[in-house]
Amino acid sequence: MKHNSNIKSMKLYNHVDRIYNELKELGKINSEFLFVEELTNFDQLHYCGTKAVDFSINKIGIDSSMCILEIGSGIGGPARYIANKTGATVIALELQSDQNNIALDLTERCGLSKKVKHVCGDFLTYDWEGKKFDAIVSWLALYHIFEHKILLQKCFDLAKPGGFFYAEDLFSRKPFSKKELSKLLKEIYANYLPDVQTYKSEIEKIGFNLLFCQDMSFEWTKFTRNRYLSYNKQKDRHLRVHGRDIYNSINSFYT
Ligand SMILES: C[S@@+](CC[C@H](N)C(=O)[O-])C[C@H]1O[C@@H](n2cnc3c(N)ncnc32)[C@H](O)[C@@H]1O
What ipTM does this complex have?
A: 0.99
Q: Is 73 in the pocket of ligand 1 (CB under 6 A)?
A: yes
CATH superfamily of 7-215: Vaccinia Virus protein VP39 (3.40.50.150)
Q: Is 49 in the pocket of ligand 1 (CB under 6 A)?
A: no
- φ, ψ for residue 144, nearest 5 deg: -75, -20
Mean pLDDT by 10 residues, the chain (255 residues): 73 96 93 96 97 98 98 98 98 98 98 98 97 98 97 98 98 96 96 97 98 97 97 96 96 94
User: What per-residue confidence (pLDDT) applies to 172?
Assistant: 97
Q: Is 74 in the pocket of ligand 1 (CB under 6 A)?
A: yes
User: What per-residue confidence (pLDDT) applies to 29?
Assistant: 87
Q: Is 250 in the pocket of ligand 1 (CB under 6 A)?
A: no
User: What per-residue confidence (pLDDT) applies to 1?
Assistant: 41
Cα-to-centroid distance, 237 and ligand 1 (Å): 28
* For the chain, domain boundaries: 7-215, 218-255
User: What per-residue confidence (pLDDT) applies to 102?
Assistant: 98
Nearest CA, atom 24, ligand 1: 72
Nearest CA, atom 22, ligand 1: 72
CA distance 213 to 153: 19
Q: Is 145 in the pocket of ligand 1 (CB under 6 A)?
A: yes
CA distance 52 to 64: 19
* Residue 73: CA count within 13 A, CB half-sphere: 34
| Per-position b or e across 151-169, b if 16+ CB within 10 A of its CB | bbebbeebbeeebbbbbbb
Residues 182/188/190/195 CA torsion (nearest 10 deg)? -100
Cα-to-centroid distance, 204 and ligand 1 (Å): 23
